[in-house]
Amino acid sequence: MTHLQTRAVGYSAPVPQGSRPAAVPIYQTSTFEFDDPDAAAAALRLPDRGYAYTRHSNPTTRALENAIADLEGGTAALATSSGMGAINAVLLALLRPGDHVIAQARLYGGTRSVLGRLADRFGIGVSYIAGDDQAELAEALRPRARVLYLETITNPTTQVANLPALLADGRAAGLTCVVDNTFATPVLCRPIEHGADVVVHSATKYLGGHDDVVAGLAVFADRDLHRRIWRFAVDLGVVADPFAAWLVLRGLKTLPLRMARHCENAGHLARFLDGHPEVTNVRWPGLPGQPDHELARRILDGFGGILCCDLAGGPQGARPFFGRLRCAAFAPSLGGPRTLVAHPASSSHRELDAGALRAAGIGEGTIRISAGIEHHEDLIADFEQALKP
């Protein structure tokens, strides 16, 4: 190659010899070059046969998939462009028109919205159950039941699902069992150990952990199921960008340390708010006397960094409370280093009507608190001054 125009496009990345990078490199490339056309075809056909095109697979996203599969105890994983991308890819790949889903009633609002649209567009039946009653699950079974969908810790009411019992019954009934483990992360719970077939995450939250990435993950107990859903996700085009995958990988390195602090601060806030005259109905599974406290002690390795409560002043009291926060901030996400407070009825569950909100345990005065990693005394002082009437 002697001409400048040719040399300008003909360079390749050096391959390290005798050393290796301490951090996973960002393979910010859309395509990969081959000497063998058959190898390229194999890489496009199967997820574990190399790299040809980043929509199919990429070394950076593969590193993230391998890491989360290991942490969750799965055989393989799929990195997606968002948590909703993971949920949609899984449900759309598993369901056909006329099928039936059994789902926990107190789900993330986006998931409820997806299930509602599946029902409207494809005639997919949806039955909602409480998440703690095996008899209720048995009663909800239908001949076309295909999927059981649960959340380890529900958004935002922090209900803990009875995973060991419900997953065992679901698998016995031939259902594919899907668990959203976003609030727990594999640090607190690994649903595959309890019988889940698929575990989904909004990696935007705790896994990324720094409020700077949008990504999702699905982890599979069975490699054949992973390949089936991978093919659908490739067609759907919801795979993760390499830089987004790299940001989540960076977050995973500190996940156990951060989760310990999130749980600790959530406990301090829950105990402070419990019994406060301006607050009612504090929900955090670590509080003794909560309906699922003993279940949480049995299946979780910590009670989580999320709590929710109702303000005594209702929606009228929420607006001034949000405006007075200084250490914490009002924002519709969670899982980052700063404590964030949200209003589920107008954010995460905004698409639910009044009846669905009641079924989900959410009122107009309900607030969700994602405890950050600040010093707990500063957080308590901030909430104390913001709650003054």
Residues 6+ apart with CB under 8 A from 313: 278, 321, 365, 389
From 99, 169, 180, 197, the catalytic residue = 180
The reply to whether 55 belongs to the active site is yes
Q: What's CA 253's distance to the chain center, in Å?
A: 17
**Separation between Cα atoms, residue 236 and residue 243, nearest integer Å:** 20
**Separation between Cα atoms, residue 124 and residue 102, nearest integer Å:** 11
From 49, 55, 227, 271, the catalytic residue = 55
From 106, 112, 205, 368, the catalytic residue = 205
CB 62 within 8 A of CB 211: no
Q: Say if residue 12 is exposed, middle or buried (CB neighbours under 10 Å; 0-12, 13-18, 19+).
A: exposed
| Cβ neighbours, 10 Å, residue 14 | 6
The reply to whether 283 belongs to the active site is no
Query: β-strands 366-370, 306-311: how paired?
Result: antiparallel
CB 65 within 8 A of CB 89: no
The reply to whether 62 belongs to the active site is no
Q: Say if residue 116 is exposed, middle or buried (CB neighbours under 10 Å; 0-12, 13-18, 19+).
A: middle
From 108, 128, 149, 206, the catalytic residue = 108
**Separation between Cα atoms, residue 374 and residue 377, nearest integer Å:** 9
Catalytic (active-site) positions = 55, 108, 180, 205
